[in-house]
Amino acid sequence: MLSKLMKHEFRATARIMLPLYLILLVSAVFTNLFGRLTESYDVRILSILSGLFLSAFVVSIIGVTLMTFVLMIWRFYKNYMTDEGYLMFTLPTSTSQLIFSKVLVAAVWFLSTVVADILASLLMAFRLADVKELLQSFSQVFSYKYGEIAANLVGYCAEALVIFLLGCIASSLMIYAAISLGHSFASKKILLSVFLFFAFNIALQIQGSVLMVVFIGNMDAFSYNYELTAGTVHLVLCIIIGIELLFAAIFYFVTYATLRRRLNLQ
């Protein structure tokens, strides 16, 4: 049932996200094209068009990012907190599957948006000479001479990807927990959901500040032995992964418990 829920969710969200990605990539290509034409030909109309496409590109990046965030919130709210909730909660599926269908799809779209933003930025700034230099740098890093550096770099990238995905999942679950708790009350549901969202954010910022102070206070101990630097970085990244897993589990439990026992659709 989870796969069917995710399939339906992907179809509903792809109708909005895919056209936005296309607009973003097209604006990046035209920004690059007119930027290069402006460099080659001193024509006023080309400069105006170049500025317009650059503005459209910036607006597209901001718009796609914001829409990803807003759409994932809206889908959860619309499906589970409005009249549709009566239908959704009568489906032959568990509450956990209903939650995971939203949070996993949200994580995929967040990752897709980052990839689309990076790809669009590369297309916008594309120069053949820059690509050659970049490929040469990668070939040097992954050569036999720098094999250990390359291995650590791959590890860092993999851990960073896990951190990003878990961060998306934890953030989505935090929003879902705030919405669910807010709608467990009889009145002022949206206002309470917003209040809880900011309360959760403040609590996480305080926790992050405390951990940062602890880490900075012990930085000398971490970096005392240079040979352990790479291992220390991996350790820190793994600790961050563990912390994100913990918060994701907490917000999942809050969302699950609220949807199961306290949800008020009246």
pLDDT digits (tens, 9 = 90+) for 90-147: 777 888 888 889 999 998 999 999 999 888 888 887 765 565 666 566 565 555 545 5
Note whether 67 and 112 are same-domain residues.
Answer: yes
Same domain, 174 and 116: no
Predicted pLDDT at 215: 62
Cβ(101)–Cβ(111) below 8 Å: no
Give the per-residue pLDDT at 227. 47
| Cα 177 from Cα 200, distance rounded (Å) | 9
Distance CA 211, CA 204 (A): 11
Are residues 120 and 141 both part of a single domain?
A: no
43/65 same-domain check = yes
Q: Which of 106, 126, 146 is the C-terminal boundary of a domain?
A: 126
Which pLDDT score, from 0 to 100, does residue 20 have?
93
In one-letter notation, the amino acid at residue 183 is H
On whether the CB atoms of residues 179 and 106 are closer than 8 A, the answer is no
243 in the same domain as 151: yes
| Domains contained in the chain, number | 2
Residues 133, 258 within the same domain: yes
- Residues 8 and 112 placed together within one structural domain of the fold: yes
Q: What pLDDT is stored for residue 226 in this prediction?
A: 41
Assess whether 51 and 69 both reside in one domain. Answer: yes
pLDDT of the residue at 197: 86
Residue with tokens 């996993």: 104
Q: Within the chain, which residues score under 70 in pLDDT?
A: 127-152, 211-231, 262-266
* 96 and 228 housed in the same domain: no
Q: Which of 96, 126, 156 is the last residue of a domain?
A: 126
Longest pairwise C-alpha distance within the chain: 68
Task: Give the 3-state secondary structure of residue 208.
Answer: helix
Q: End-to-end distance of the chain based on CA atoms, in angstroms?
A: 27
Q: In this predicted structure, what is the pLDDT of residue 147? A: 52
Q: Quick count: other Cβ atoms within 10 Å of Cβ 250?
A: 15
Q: Quote the pLDDT of residue 265.
A: 56
pTM: 0.78
Within this chain, do residues 198 and 152 fall inside the same structural domain, yes or no? yes
Rounded to an integer, what distance in angstroms lies between the CA atom of residue 27 and that of residue 247?
38
- Both 265 and 244 in one domain: the answer is yes
Domain extent for 100:
1-126
CA distance to 3, 145, 199, 200, per residue, from 262 (Å): 26, 60, 20, 19
